[in-house]
Amino acid sequence: MAFYKLVFLLILIIMLQHRGIIYRASKEAAVRRELRELGESTLPKSSNVLGSWRMYGVNEVDPIATGPEGNTLENTPMSKKELFISFFPDGSFTQVRDNNAYSTGKWAFDSTSQSVFLTSERVTQEVGISFEIAENGLRVMHFEFNPKESMLLMEYGKPLSNYREDPFFEGNNEWRIKPEKPENAVQLRKRLSNYLLHNIYLLKAAKTREQNRVSWEFSEGILRIYNPGIGVVKPSQVPAPWINAFYSEQNAREAFNMFEDFMKKSKFKGSGKGNWVEQNYKILIDIRNGMKTPGP
């Protein structure tokens, strides 16, 4: 009797599969699961703030960059026309503004008011947050400073499992912090090493996140990226934001010459395997390891 029940069950499954009933049911379940996950990602909660976000609407006449009555955001800590901000699980956040101006701070989420408290440069501000999904499928986070002033941030990069390897985590951006006095050769080499570390993690994050492109928009520097290969830009093409990170233009020139001389006397090649992102990631690791030695 059990044998006949088993045969009947198998025949029933085959008929349902043939008519597409089981397929549709599984598809509907997948859709429901996707909608549930999507809904979870738009709830105002601490974990949904994590990751990197960039402001879109980069001029004063763009309605996205202004409040509902046309009020600009000039009186808020995040009022610049360009903004890239990253939130990390340890309660820290970093931001890059126009001209690569870099700053750090602390953040905390308040579930009662559905807002975040941002503390930077001894100033704390409460910002209301909410989420929605844009037409391109990315999440949008609303920053509301007050009923008349708000800002929209587009999801740029999801949080990494090892957030300390995020290219914009504070420890990977020491090269951006302007020193208070001139630096010697040892200090300049250390700054270059941290700059290379930032770029290493920039490539690694792009590969981990399966991003279609790698952007150096918020990481301007002296590396010239090939497909594959790593070079140095011409002295006349060194970007101003990179120079401004040094104590003086002279220190910036010394660091550039140091790196250029090192690259001229060294050869680093890709393995020939993998895409250009993976190959350049490995090349940069070799370059950084080579620069740790006293000479090239």
The pLDDT tens digits of the residues spanning 242-251 come to 999 999 999 9
* Least confidently predicted of 15-19, 167-171, 193-197, 237-241: 15-19
Say if residue 147 is preceded by a cis peptide, omega within 30 of 0.
Answer: no
Residue-averaged pLDDT of the chain: 79
What CA–CA distance (Å, rounded) separates 269 from 284? 10
Instruction: Please choose, from the candidates 87, 162, 165, 144, the residue with its C-alpha nearest in 3D space to the C-alpha of residue 120.
Output: 87
What CA–CA distance (Å, rounded) separates 151 from 95? 15
Going by C-beta distance under 8 Å and a sequence separation of 6 or more, which residues neighbour residue 4?
A: none
**Once rounded to an integer, what is the mean pLDDT over residues 96-117?**
89
pLDDT of residue 269: 60
**Once rounded to an integer, what is the mean pLDDT over residues 15-25?**
43
Tell me: pLDDT of 287 over 80. Answer: yes
DSSP 8-state class, residue 24: H
The pLDDT tens digits of the residues spanning 34-84 come to 444 445 566 767 889 999 999 864 333 333 333 333 333 333 344 445 789
pLDDT of residue 80: 44
Joined together, the tokens standing for residue 272 give 């020939």
Instruction: Please choose, from the candidates 232, 220, 294, 238, the residue with its C-alpha nearest in 3D space to the C-alpha of residue 261.
Output: 232
Bridge partners of residue 108, in order along the sequence? 117
What CA–CA distance (Å, rounded) separates 120 from 91? 12
Instruction: Please choose, from the candidates 168, 175, 178, the residue with its C-alpha nearest in 3D space to the C-alpha of residue 93.
Output: 168
* pLDDT tier, 198 (very low <50, low <70, confident <90, very high otherwise): very high
pLDDT of residue 55: 84
Percent above pLDDT 90 for the chain:
48
Task: Give CA angle at 243 (239, 248), nearest 5°.
Answer: 155
Percent above pLDDT 70 for the chain:
72
Element (H, E) at 132: strand 123-133
DSSP 8-state class, residue 158: P
Q: State pTM to two decimals.
A: 0.77
The amino acid present at 100, given as its one-letter code, is: N
Asked if residue 158 lies in contact with residue 77, where contact means CB atoms within 8 angstroms, the answer is no
